[in-house]
Amino acid sequence: MPGEPAQPAHRVRVRRIYETPSPDDGVRVLVDRLWPRGLAKTDAHIDEWPKALTPSTELRRWYHGTEGEYEEFRRRYEAELQAPDAVAALDRLRSIAAKGTVTLLTAAKDPSVSHTSVLLRELDPQTGA
């Protein structure tokens, strides 16, 4: 309709890896460093697994330990995403998202307080806001 803003052709979203794959997932990207427990690789239907975008082992252990809190985790993870390999992987996913839907897959029980919320904001500021 005239006067309405155009809808973007792409979309970045987050789903748990344990959910049944959907035809509208587009490119399915696993963003966890470790393979999800109890899931056969043939059942995951992933297209990409860019480990450069995953939190470091040290950061992941700190966050899931007794002292970890989300805002500090987010700050540290954003710093890790400035590494050249992570920047290149983010650029690749942005390029894929410009052509269609990208679904970030995680085993995290609550993606809203995990690295996926940071990635969502990095890949699509409107969606991740």
pLDDT (tens digit, 9 = 90+) per residue, 17-26?
Answer: 999 999 999 9
Whole-model pTM over 0.95: no
16 closest CA partner among 90, 104, 117: 104
Asked if 32 and 17 touch (Cβ cutoff 8 Å), the reply is yes
The answer to whether the CB of 16 falls within 8 A of the CB of 106 is: yes
Does residue 14 surpass a pLDDT of 50?
yes
- Kindly tell me the sign of the dihedral angle through the C-alpha atoms of 65, 72, 52, 127: positive
Q: Average pLDDT of 62-89?
A: 93
Is pLDDT at 127 greater than 60 in this prediction?
A: no
DSSP reduced 3-state for 103:
strand
> Residue 83: pLDDT above 60?
yes
Q: What is the pLDDT of residue 128?
A: 46
